[in-house]
Amino acid sequence: MQKQRLNYQMVSVLHFLFGLLLVISFVSLPILLVMSIIDITVGEGLTSGIAILPIDFLLDVKISLPHQAEVVTALEGGVLRLPMDEMTLGWRITIISQAIIQYALGVFILYILWSIFHSLKVSMRDQENVFLQGNITRIRLIGYIFIVSAIVEFVYRKIIRHFLVDEFIFRGEQVPFTLKMEFLDDILLGVIILVIAQIYRVGTEIKEEQQLTV
């Protein structure tokens, strides 16, 4: 009984926290949208001031050693810092629209998490059942959103690399570079969440069978 009460309390706390985060996100979203529109049209850099994109330098460096041996190595990557007020309209639309889409996806995930904990709280209050049919869909949706977010990131970086960046000059020399494609973590996370949704589905079926066992 003590353990059940503790579980219910934990779920209630998480339900409250996600609700609070959701309210803050919803309040921030229209402000972010207004500031983004001003950014795009006026170019004042209200939202972030700069865009930061991680890049890999494709630069071979020759190092001379004492015995005249040469070692060729590549410099580590860095970041491309782009002040918003120096960007063209195309750049601003690209960077800001990506930020808004990613923010909206994040808010949607928060809403789904709040819904999951809300349904768990209601169910645990009445019948101590945590395996609910609706939550299977919600967990799967979170997994799909992570995968979609990774694809959005990939598409935007391709757009930036191929349409917005003509050349990159480093210490007076034109240097080839690529934008880091760090979206694989999100895809892996999305797949893991989909596996968890499948396990949860099996749990729901087992629970349903147990409830219909007389």
Partner 1 sequence: MPILTNLDVMLAKRKMSLTELSEEVGISLANLSILKQGKAKAVRFSTLEAICRVLECKPGDILDYIDENEK
Tokens 């880091």 found at: 180
103, 29 in Cβ contact below 8 A?
Answer: yes
Separation in Å, CA 131 to CA 78, 113, 151: 46, 15, 31
The answer to whether 127 contacts partner 1 (rule: CB under 8 A) is no
The answer to whether 65 contacts partner 1 (rule: CB under 8 A) is no
Separation in Å, CA 128 to CA 8, 181, 200, 212: 9, 44, 16, 16
Least separation in angstroms between CB 150 and partner 1 = 40
In angstroms, rounded to a whole number, what is the distance separating the alpha carbons of residues 44 and 48? 10
Q: For residue 169, which phi and psi values (nearest 5 degrees)?
A: -105, 125
Give 69 or 212: the residue with its C-beta nearer to partner 1: 212
Least separation in angstroms between CB 144 and partner 1 = 31
The answer to whether 126 contacts partner 1 (rule: CB under 8 A) is no
The answer to whether 214 contacts partner 1 (rule: CB under 8 A) is yes
Q: Is 74 helix (H, G, I), strand (E, B) or coil?
A: strand
Give 88 or 211: the residue with its C-beta nearer to partner 1: 211
Number of residues that bind partner 1 (CB under 8 A): 5
Give 2 or 127: the residue with its C-beta nearer to partner 1: 127
Residues 20-59 that bind partner 1 (CB under 8 A): none
The answer to whether 213 contacts partner 1 (rule: CB under 8 A) is yes
The answer to whether 212 contacts partner 1 (rule: CB under 8 A) is yes
Least separation in angstroms between CB 205 and partner 1 = 10
Binding mask 179-208 for partner 1 (x = CB under 8 A): -----------------------------x
Give 65 or 212: the residue with its C-beta nearer to partner 1: 212
Give 188 or 202: the residue with its C-beta nearer to partner 1: 202
Separation in Å, CA 50 to CA 36, 85, 99, 166: 13, 8, 12, 19
Q: Tokens at residue 188, please?
A: 């892996």
Positive or negative, the CA dihedral 84, 87, 89, 94 is: negative
Contacts of 84 (CB under 8 A, 6+ apart): 39, 43, 44, 45, 47, 48, 49, 50, 51, 92, 95
Give 73 or 211: the residue with its C-beta nearer to partner 1: 211
The answer to whether 63 contacts partner 1 (rule: CB under 8 A) is no
In angstroms, rounded to a whole number, what is the distance separating the alpha carbons of residues 77 and 33? 32
User: Which residues of this chain interact with partner 1, rule CB under 8 A?
Assistant: 208-209, 212-214
